[in-house]
């Protein structure tokens, strides 16, 4: 729990003030001033003196760059490392879908996602039933060997490279995830900065488009095997909910990041959004909110067509981030129920003058933030095209124009404690006969292999299920995060 600010050190008091400001806005209130939370990625290297290769291939340097920006700019919250993909780890895993700075692309270019050709997608059109019946088994036995240059398909001779890709990948992922606790603690103690998000979520249909069938494969399937697409999305739902919960902030202060890709107009029709995309992500958001967790809708691209659908969600259950959409329209539709963020175009931060940035920020504050429920941020993740003077202008303009004369900070602890999210109608669980979410090898199957247990069987089961859960995390984090 946050410390009493009256007895805290000056840096801890700054952290508590920023946390309260951030949470007050997200929970629908009007704080003392507009919070600032820029999602800065390769920009941190521009400012701190690192190349894109250094940020991507050495997370220690990426962490250091994020801390330097947090210390030097007056920001309330940042992502601990927005250059999230540690390419040294993904290279050890042998993942085929990344262009790595300094290896496949110039060291001055941020890492790139390389989508496979439609005729060589990582999931074949006739494999939906396998995915639907056992998502874990399909990902482990079929998908991982296809996305990794080192892993062998099931039934093929296991090689040293195969074994090492799993050993190195698993050890590296544990090291990397374990390092975030110290990074967040240093952001707090060194600059009083809040870690902006915790956990990850993607929509089932976006997963199919991003990592399984590819966008063109998904489009083909929506015409030729729509029932399979819907069934696959439904089968993925409990597992994606489990991943989101496992990484969520246990104190429920900061939201779960939900990265929105190809599920809306113009990538798919309104009818597909209404009947496939939205029905298989909305219940996840509702169940997370029933647990008290907000979700940050990072609406990459244009999602204005679907604002009325997003308005169906329970009040305060999400924060809506505007990228290429119209932030004033988003405010008109969602602004009385949800906190908004973003709206400062990245092209402006890259090519306009600081004065133009200031004017645009003032326009947003006056038109969107006047009642609270707004967080200043760029429209999209700021890569190495962002100019330092323009990020500084965005920051200064927010502090100059974003002070509320009648606003006040509310305690983050009290806001979370006072929230009364509604219960969902029914929990999301796999269909009868299928493995539970978070499980690779069920204890019931393992128990049959063991001799009689003379001691505490529950102790043995707990240990087995804990380690099995780590294996499950590895599979799903490769799918979602890397």
**Structural domain ending residue among the three candidates 195, 221, 255:** 195
Look at residue 358 and tell me if it is in a domain. no
pLDDT greater than 90 at residue 427: no
β-strand pairing of 98-99 with 112-113? antiparallel
pLDDT greater than 70 at residue 404: yes
Q: Would the pTM of this model clear 0.75, i.e. be above it? A: yes
Look at residue 23 and tell me if it is in a domain. no
Look at residue 276 and tell me if it is in a domain. no
Look at residue 356 and tell me if it is in a domain. no
List pLDDT tens digits, range 378-402: 999 999 999 999 999 999 999 999 9
Q: Angle at the Cα of 194 (from 192 to 198), degrees rounded to 5?
A: 155
The more confident residue out of 130 and 425 is 130
Residue in this structure with the two tokens 């900070």, named with its chain if needed: 409
Look at residue 89 and tell me if it is in a domain. yes
**Structural domain ending residue among the three candidates 195, 210, 241:** 195
Name the token pair of 123: 């999931």
Please report the pLDDT score of residue 158 as a whole number.
94
Look at residue 103 and tell me if it is in a domain. yes
Please report the pLDDT score of residue 238 as a whole number.
97
Please report the pLDDT score of residue 64 as a whole number.
98
List pLDDT tens digits, range 186-221: 999 999 999 999 999 999 999 999 999 999 999 999
pLDDT greater than 60 at residue 29: yes
Average pLDDT over residues 72-83: 98
Q: How far apart are CA 430 and CA 237, in angstroms?
A: 8
Q: Which long-range contacts (CB under 8 A, 24 or more apart) does 67-74 make?
A: 67/183, 67/186, 67/187, 67/190, 67/191, 68/44, 69/40, 69/43, 69/44, 70/187, 70/190, 70/191, 70/193, 71/190, 71/191, 71/193, 72/47, 73/391, 73/392, 73/395, 74/36, 74/395, 74/399
List pLDDT tens digits, range 242-296: 999 999 999 999 999 999 999 999 999 999 999 999 999 999 999 999 999 999 9
List pLDDT tens digits, range 86-106: 999 999 999 999 999 999 999
Q: How far apart are CA 171 and CA 345, in angstroms?
A: 39
Average pLDDT over residues 46-53: 97
**Structural domain ending residue among the three candidates 195, 220, 239:** 195
Kindly state the DSSP code that residue 30 receives in the 8-state scheme: -
Look at residue 10 and tell me if it is in a domain. no
Predicted confidence band at 55 (pLDDT cuts at 50, 70, 90)? very high
Domain span at residue 180?
40-195
Q: How far apart are CA 326 and CA 312, in angstroms?
A: 19
Predicted confidence band at 8 (pLDDT cuts at 50, 70, 90)? confident
Residue in this structure with the two tokens 């509604």, named with its chain if needed: 422
| Contact in structure between 123 and 142 (CB atoms under 8 Å) | yes
pLDDT greater than 90 at residue 5: no
- Would you mind telling me the total number of residues written for the chain in this entry? 482
Q: How far apart are CA 283 and CA 76, in angstroms?
A: 31
Look at residue 144 and tell me if it is in a domain. yes
For the chain, the domain total comes to: 2
């Amino acid at each position: 729990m946050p410390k009493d600010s009256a007895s805290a050190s000056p840096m801890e008091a700054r952290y508590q003030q920023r946390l309260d400001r951030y949470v007050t806005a997200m929970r629908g209130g009007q704080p003392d001033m507009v919070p600032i939370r820029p999602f800065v990625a390769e920009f941190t290297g521009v400012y701190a003196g690192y190349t894109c290769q250094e940020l991507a291939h050495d997370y220690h340097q990426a962490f250091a760059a994020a801390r330097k920006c947090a210390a030097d700019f007056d920001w309330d919250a940042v992502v601990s490392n927005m250059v999230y993909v540690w390419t040294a780890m993904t290279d050890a895993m042998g993942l085929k879908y990344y262009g790595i700075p300094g290896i496949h692309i110039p060291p001055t270019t941020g890492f790139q996602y390389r989508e496979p050709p439609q005729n060589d997608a990582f999931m074949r059109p006739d494999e939906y039933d396998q995915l639907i019946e056992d998502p874990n088994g399909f990902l482990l036995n079929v998908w991982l060997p296809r996305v990794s240059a080192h892993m062998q398909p099931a039934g093929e001779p296991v090689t040293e490279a195969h074994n090492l890709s799993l050993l190195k990948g698993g050890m590296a992922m544990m090291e990397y995830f374990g390092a975030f606790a110290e990074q967040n603690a240093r952001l707090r103690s060194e600059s009083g900065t809040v870690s902006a998000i915790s956990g990850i979520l993607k929509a089932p249909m976006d997963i199919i488009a991003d990592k399984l069938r590819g966008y063109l494969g998904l489009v083909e399937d929506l015409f030729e095997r729509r029932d399979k697409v819907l069934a696959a999305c439904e089968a993925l739902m409990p597992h994606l909910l489990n991943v989101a919960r496992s990484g969520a902030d246990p104190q429920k202060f900061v939201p779960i990041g939900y990265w929105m890709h190809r599920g809306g107009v113009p990538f798919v029709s309104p009818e597909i959004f209404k009947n496939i995309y939205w029905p298989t992500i909305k219940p996840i958001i509702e169940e997370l909110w029933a647990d008290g967790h907000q979700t940050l809708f990072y609406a990459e691209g244009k999602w204005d067509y679907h604002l009325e659908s997003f308005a169906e969600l329970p009040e305060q259950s999400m924060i809506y981030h505007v990228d290429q959409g119209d932030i004033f329209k988003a405010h008109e539709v969602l602004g009385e129920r949800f906190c908004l963020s973003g709206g400062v175009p990245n092209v402006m931060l890259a090519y306009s003058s600081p004065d133009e940035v200031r004017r645009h920020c003032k326009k947003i504050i006056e038109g969107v933030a006047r009642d609270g429920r707004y967080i200043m941020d760029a429209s999209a993740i700021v890569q190495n095209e962002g100019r330092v003077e323009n990020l500084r202008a965005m920051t200064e303009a927010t502090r100059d124009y974003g002070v509320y004369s009648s606003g006040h900070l509310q305690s983050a602890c009290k806001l979370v404690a006072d929230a009364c999210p509604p219960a969902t109608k029914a929990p999301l669980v796999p269909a009868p006969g299928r493995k539970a979410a978070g499980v690779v090898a069920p204890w019931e199957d393992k128990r049959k292999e063991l001799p009689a247990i003379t001691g505490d069987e529950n102790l043995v089961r707990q240990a087995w299920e804990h380690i099995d859960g780590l294996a499950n995390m590895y599979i799903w984090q490769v799918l979602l995060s890397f």
